[in-house]
């Protein structure tokens, strides 16, 4: 399968293609979604695109944006016998990825690619890394060799260590729409869209939209705190040993932070979809349905104020902001820098 065969996954695939086009593919990705086979297919399409001998689609600077699915390199990858592409899977009996498997992989990661420009290592069901294996792998994840990329696949990313999650660019292949049918998100986005349509463009307008976004993040954090605190053992026992109490408090804090980060990624991703609708509206394309059809009128008003090029730049800007939030940059700073650069 090539990228073009994933018609229902245009969002994350467009993001990958834009990175390919700019020659700025990340060093470590986490692909998530409900089916591992599907994630493997998407990964194969990416790897084939990187290696394809006659790509059917090229970007502005000549980089391949899709694969032919037929040349020798593409076929080798489909048959899993390309020397520069390594796949690691849980062992069949224990269903875990062991430290030996990871050590083995790390050795080959550091070798130069033989046929391709990039070496690709794919970890299937990365949530099955046992703790030692995950720790052995962290150093490579922090400093991957320049000509190498790592792709982690998981249907259950909650089980991944936070240290791994935070070092990967995460793309969700859950199928479009599912996550953003959440009524609270829909209501918020409608307000955001109307406000964006009615604000005149300019710094003041952008600041007001930024504060709407930050308020939503605050609400999300408060809800997570309430829900997780209610589940914590701290709530269930009155007389707790101080050491144990401290441990539980630390655990609670860590799980709040992890869940918050996940939901922040989702909120920003939802906003990216809204900006994609704006972008489509600037291009007057027929035949590509908007993601949020109920917002067409406010989206249209925003689109009327900008060129397709500016709309594309907005998408790139949001992508960079997602990337920045994955690093250790302070959240408020990353969002302010990122969102105030948007054209609206
Ligand atoms: Zn090919």
What are 294-339's pLDDT values in tens digits? Answer: 899 999 999 999 999 999 999 989 988 988 888 878 888 899 888 8
Ligand 1 centroid–CA 226 distance in Å is 51
pLDDT higher than threshold 90 for residue 29: yes
Ligand 1 centroid–CA 55 distance in Å is 6
* CA 162 vs CA 167, 218, 261, 270: distances in Å: 9, 21, 10, 22
Ligand 1 centroid–CA 73 distance in Å is 6
Report the distance separating Cα 113 and Cα 83, nearest Å. 8
Report whether 267 contacts 259 (CB < 8 A).
no
Ligand 1 centroid–CA 18 distance in Å is 19
Strand partners, 148: 119
Dihedral, 225, 227, 229, 233 alpha carbons, nearest 10: -150
Report the distance separating Cα 48 and Cα 157, nearest Å. 25
Ligand 1 centroid–CA 65 distance in Å is 11
Report the distance separating Cα 55 and Cα 49, nearest Å. 7
Ligand 1 centroid–CA 80 distance in Å is 14
What are 59-77's pLDDT values in tens digits? Answer: 888 899 999 999 999 999 9
Angle in degrees, CA 159, 165, 169, rounded to 5: 135
Segment holding 169, helix H or strand E: strand 169-172
What are 227-280's pLDDT values in tens digits? Answer: 888 877 887 777 888 898 898 889 889 989 988 988 898 899 889 889 989 998
pLDDT higher than threshold 90 for residue 50: yes
Ligand 1 centroid–CA 2 distance in Å is 9
Nearest Cα to Cα of residue 332 among 241, 244, 235, 210: 210
In degrees rounded to 5, what are phi and psi of residue 122?
A: -115, 125
- Secondary structure letter of residue 200 according to DSSP: P
This prediction's pTM = 0.55
In DSSP notation, 93-141 reads TT-SB-HHHHHHHHHHHTSPPSSSSSEEEEETTGGGB-HHHHHHHHHHH
């Amino acid at each position: 399968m090539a990228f073009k065969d994933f018609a229902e996954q245009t969002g994350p695939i467009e993001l990958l293609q834009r990175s390919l086009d700019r020659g700025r593919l990340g060093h470590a990705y986490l692909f998530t979604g409900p089916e591992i086979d599907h994630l493997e297919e998407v990964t194969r399409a990416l790897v084939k695109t990187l290696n394809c001998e006659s790509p059917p689609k090229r970007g502005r600077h000549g980089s391949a944006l899709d694969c032919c699915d037929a040349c020798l390199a593409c076929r080798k990858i489909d048959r899993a016998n390309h020397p520069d592409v390594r796949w690691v899977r849980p062992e069949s009996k224990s269903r875990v990825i062991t430290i030996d498997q990871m050590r083995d992989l790390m050795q080959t990661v550091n070798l130069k690619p033989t046929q391709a420009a990039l070496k690709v290592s794919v970890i299937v069901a990365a949530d099955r890394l046992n703790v030692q294996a995950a720790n052995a792998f962290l150093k490579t994840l922090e400093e991957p060799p320049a000509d190498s990329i790592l792709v982690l696949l998981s249907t259950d990313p909650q089980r991944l260590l936070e240290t791994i999650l935070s070092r990967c660019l995460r793309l969700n292949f859950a199928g479009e729409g599912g996550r953003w049918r959440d009524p609270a998100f829909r209501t918020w986005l409608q307000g955001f869209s109307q406000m964006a349509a009615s604000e005149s463009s300019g710094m003041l307008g952008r600041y007001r939209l930024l504060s709407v976004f930050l308020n939503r993040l605050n609400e999300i954090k408060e809800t997570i705190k309430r829900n997780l605190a209610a589940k914590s053992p701290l709530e269930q026992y009155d007389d707790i040993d101080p050491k144990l109490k401290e441990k539980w408090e630390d655990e609670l804090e860590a799980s709040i932070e992890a869940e918050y980060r996940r939901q922040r990624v989702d909120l920003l991703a939802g906003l990216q979809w809204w900006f994609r609708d704006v972008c489509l509206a600037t291009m007057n394309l027929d035949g590509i349905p908007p993601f949020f059809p109920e917002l067409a009128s406010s989206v249209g008003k925003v689109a009327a104020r900008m060129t397709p090029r500016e709309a594309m730049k907005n998408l790139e800007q949001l992508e960079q902001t997602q990337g920045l939030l994955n690093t250790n940059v302070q959240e408020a700073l990353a969002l302010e820098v990122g969102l105030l650069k948007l054209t609206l």
